[in-house]
Amino acid sequence: MKENIMRTIQTTVYQFSELSDSARKTAISRYRDSYEDFSYYAETVIEDAATIADIIGIDLRNTLTTRNDGTTLYAPTVFYSGFCSQGDGACFEGSYSYKKGALKALIDYAPLDTELHRIAKQLQDLQRVNFYKLTAKMKHRGYYNHSGCMHVEINSSRTVSNDTEDELTHLMCDFADWIYSQLTIEYEYQNSDDQITENFEANEYEFNENGVIV
Q: What is the pLDDT of residues 178-188, one digit of tens each?
A: 999 999 999 99
Domain membership of residue 130 (yes or no) is yes
Domain membership of residue 154 (yes or no) is yes
Pairing of strands 62-66, 135-140: unpaired
Domain that holds residue 105: 39-190
The answer to whether residue 120 scores a pLDDT higher than 70 is yes
Residue 168 shares a structural domain with residue 183: yes
Confidence of residue 1 (pLDDT cuts 50, 70, 90): low
Residue of 84 and 88 predicted with greater confidence: 88
The pLDDT, as a whole number, for residue 100 is: 96
* Domain tally, the chain: 2
Return the half-sphere exposure (C-beta side, CA atoms, 13 A cut-off) of residue 65: 17
Residue 167 shares a structural domain with residue 78: yes
The pLDDT, as a whole number, for residue 9 is: 82
Nearest to 105 by CA among 55, 30, 37, 168: 55
Cα(167)–Cα(59) distance, rounded to whole angstroms? 19
Average of per-residue pLDDT across 117-131: 97
pLDDT, mean over the chain: 93
Residue of 55 and 82 predicted with greater confidence: 55
- Does the pTM surpass 0.95? The reply is no
Contact (Cβ atoms closer than 8 angstroms) between residue 30 and residue 211: yes
Residue 118 shares a structural domain with residue 26: no
Average of per-residue pLDDT across 86-95: 95
The answer to whether residue 143 scores a pLDDT higher than 80 is yes
Domain membership of residue 196 (yes or no) is no
The pLDDT, as a whole number, for residue 197 is: 97
Average of per-residue pLDDT across 58-84: 88
Instruction: Answer whether the bond into residue 79 is a cis peptide, omega within 30°.
Output: no
Distances (CA, A) of 84 to 26, 27, 87, 149, 187: 22, 22, 9, 18, 11
The answer to whether residue 134 scores a pLDDT higher than 80 is yes
Q: How many residues does the chain have?
A: 214
Residue 142 shares a structural domain with residue 205: no
Residue 66 shares a structural domain with residue 134: yes
Domain membership of residue 59 (yes or no) is yes
The answer to whether residue 194 scores a pLDDT higher than 70 is yes
Question: How much of the chain exceeds pLDDT 90, in percent?
Answer: 79
Residue 168 shares a structural domain with residue 113: yes
